Structure 1
Amino acid sequence: MRITILATLLLAAATAHAAPLEWRGISLSSAEWGEKLPFPGVYGKDYVYPSVASTAYYQAKGMNLMRVGFRWERLQPTLMGELDATELGRLREFVDGTTARGLHVLLDPHNYAAYKEVHVGKPEVPIAAFADFWRRLALQFKDNPKVQFGLVNEPRNMPTETWADAAQAAVDAIRATGAKNLITLPGNGYTGAWSWFESKWYGTPNAEVMGRVRDPLDHMVFEVHQYFDKDGSGTNAECVSPSIGVERLQRFTAWLKANKKRAILGELGGGANAVCEQAVNGALMHLQANADVWAGWLWWAGGPTWGDYFLSLEPGADGKDKPQMRWLQPFLREAR
């Protein structure tokens, strides 16, 4: 059933009085950039890390989780080798400074389950190498309970069974270090909520495979992404309809309930127009109405180098909020 504009507005008003979800935040993107240039690129020119100071804006709005993207290859230049001290220092500076502010940080190797464009599970990039990377990274951050481990951004171009095996190996490697941090587990095929049951273009559906991945501490949530444009890519400013936010999440929500799992909506966004506003509101209201299985959400995106990107929440040079920030305010805690 489609949500009318009036119903959407009434529900949005009611949501303002509901308890927000545990995690509300944003993906700060920039440290993973420059992958198409001669690699690893020049720091400060081809890619940068967001500043700790820049998180104050989002914290003041009521966000409590910052997802920071980076490249596996820059952090570990040789498979099975030591982490690069300089690159680790840049990441640690952001993580330590941001968590010291009271925020949580979700680590995001923004690699699509590949290393130098070769996907995990191929002979050149064995599953053991992915597990080794996470063992090393977990050792660096396991003593900070405000750090969360996102296994990788949007696995793709691989059998779902291979990705599930790789994810399990990474989870096991993380826990073997003694780390108790929250882990977020994406699905195959860009981890779309709307394609969780898809069987046409990425192999066995996530719904049939990903539930077998186990965390011995049971401190793991699924991470799905969802956009509301025609192809679900998030590359178009126009959304399909006011109700598309709810429609693309409902079936995955039912899967979570049936399988007694929880999830975080790791990416969502929409262009600054009335239809997308209603779609985003509908999606976030759906999450809050199903807080038993939804742990939170993150907007895509923010970061220092987006310019006039239509999904960026970074305030302009004049300090004014982007229109989408107004949409999110009913779903955030009161600024402190």
Structure 2
Amino acid sequence: MKRLIGATLLAAALAAQAAPPKLEWQGISLSSAEWGEKLPFPGVYGREYVYPSVASTAYYQAKGMNLMRIAFRWERLQPTLMGELDSTELGRLREFVDGTTARGLHVLLDPHNYAAYKNVHVGKPEVPFAAFADFWRRLALQFKDNPKVQFGLVNEPREMPTETWAEAAQAAVDAIRAAGAKNLITLPGNGYTGAWSWFESKWYGTPNAEVMGKVRDPLDNMVFEVHQYFDKDGSGTNTECVSPTIGVERLQRFTAWLKANKRRALLGELGGGANPVCEQVIRSALQHLQDNADVWTGWLWWAGGPTWGDYFLSLEPGKDGKDKPQMRWLEPFLKQQ
């Protein structure tokens, strides 16, 4: 009997070792609380911008998603640089975060600011690195006791030298850890953090591949966050995808970089229009992530949220409660987890 039990335990251990790793995260970017930036700022809550409701996350959770990325604006949360967080705006964010994590979901905080404050980029005299670090110190203190909260440093840095962004990011990471927060951090690259442009040097300076790996987390609880779309310019603004194979083509070089540098990443945004080519692209891209789950932690669809209407990438169910076509593409990758 002892031999039988021992053999069973050994077989189970060997099976566990042989099992391929699985993606940790599958979810969606919820967008609406960052809206209204082009109107008289900060705008009127409920008219220019609104937070998604906690109840709305039940739809995605029932589908098998476990991570909600919540976008908001730095300027609304901290109206004065180096100043206190606005209690009303913080209350709105906390209501969503606390309610959503109480449901068992994880939440990725997303200051949707492109590494700028009131359109002035971090690293300029008006927005020094210390201000960005201060913002994250204050935010970390608010959420450090909730292990289901993740810290996305900022959405899609742009229009700045990569070295400047890396220095800003390091300052924020250091401030988060100094605040005593152990939460997962996601680190975007410069130039819209595109996976396909990670090695680009023509239009945003030194490539991310040469700089961003130097940003370090003393707790080693940080992953890169890249975004990838599959239309002609990679912007996600066109309904058509380039070709059925473009998904893997735009991801594979970055995947190889992760493996060579022993780093991990989250695909923080992907999406495609409701057509057969994009369906093939999304399925193959998600399969690529699954096949390389040793370096990919998961993915987030762009987008959801209550105010998108008929936006072609929105996964919010219609008034009739029916799924958007793209949800069908995602379901096999949700169920296998």
Same fold flag (TM > 0.5): yes
Q: Which residue of 1 aligns with 2:269?
A: 267
Larger Rg over CA atoms: 2
Structure 2 residue aligned with 1:86: 88
2:71 corresponds to which of 47, 51, 69:
69
Give the corresponding residue for 2:233: 231
Q: Is the 8 A contact 1:20 1:331 kept in 2?
A: no
Q: Normalization by structure 1: what TM-score?
A: 0.94
Partner deviation per Cα, 1:68-123 (whole Å, 9 max, x = no partner): 00000000000000000000000000000000000000000000000000000000
Looking at structure 2, the residues matched to 278 and 334 of structure 1 have their Cα atoms a distance apart, in angstroms, of 18
Cα distance in 1 for partners of 2:123, 2:89 equals: 25
- The reply on whether 1:280 has 2:282 as its aligned counterpart is yes
Counterpart CA distance in 1 for 2:109 and 2:162 is 22
Structure 1 unaligned runs (5+)? Answer: 1-16
Question: Distance between the aligned counterparts of 1:195 and 1:312, measured in 2?
Answer: 25
Deviation at 1:333, TM superposition (A): 3.1
Q: Could you tell me which amino acid in structure 2 is paired with residue 258 of structure 1?
A: A
Deviations 1:7-52 (A, max 9, x none): xxxxxxxxxx987511000000000000000000000000000000
Report what 2:8 is aligned to.
none
- Equivalent pairs: percent with the same residue? 89
What does 1:186-197 correspond to in 2, within 5 Å?
Answer: 186-197=188-199
How far does residue 334 in structure 1 lie from its aligned partner after superposition? 6.8
Paired residue secondary structure (1:107): strand
Query: Quick one: distance in 2 between partners of 1:243 and 1:90?
Result: 42
Aligned to 1:249, what secondary structure does the other structure show?
Answer: helix
Aligned pairs (5 A) from 1:118-267: 118-267=120-269
Aligned length: 319
Q: What secondary structure is seen at the aligned counterpart in 2 of 1:316?
A: coil
* Distance of 1:18 and 1:177 partners within structure 2: 36
Whole-Å separation in 1 of the counterparts to 2:21 and 2:215: 30
> Does the 8 Å CA contact 2:32/2:52 hold for their aligned counterparts?
yes
Change (3 A) 1:76 1:259: same
Q: Structure 2: any 5+ residue segments left out of the alignment?
A: 1-18
**SS at structure 1 position matched to 2:104:** coil
What amino acid maps onto 1:76 in structure 2?
Q
- With normalisation by structure 2, the TM-score equals 0.93
Tell me how far apart the structure 1 counterparts of residues 244 and 94 of structure 2 sit (CA, whole Å).
Answer: 41
Question: 2:53 aligned to 32, 40, 51, which one?
Answer: 51
1:151-191 Cα shifts (integer Å, max 9, x gaps): 00000000000000000000000000110000000000000
Q: Note if contact 2:162-2:204 (Cα within 8 Å) is conserved in structure 1.
A: yes
Output the CA distance in 2 between the equivalents of 1:204 and 1:58.
Answer: 38
Structure 2 letter corresponding to 1:209: V
2:113 counterpart letter in structure 1 = N
Cross-structure match for 2:11? none
8 Å CA contact 1:62–1:334 kept in 2: the answer is: no
Show the counterpart of 2:9.
Answer: none
Counterpart for residue 39 of structure 2: 37
Distance 2:282 2:244 in 1: 8
Match of 1:108 in 2: 110
Partner residue in 2 for 1:329: 331
Contact 2:111 2:153 in 1 (8 A): yes
Letter of the 2:72 counterpart = F
Q: How far, CA to CA, are the matches of 2:232 and 2:336 in structure 1? A: 34
Where 1:74 maps in the other structure, the secondary structure is helix
CA distance in structure 2 between the aligned counterparts of 1:215 and 1:19, rounded to whole angstroms: 23
Instruction: Name the stretch that deviates more: 109-118 or 17-26.
Output: 17-26
Could you say what the CA RMSD is over the residues aligned between the two structures, in angstroms?
A: 1.2
Partner of 1:225: helix, strand, or coil? strand
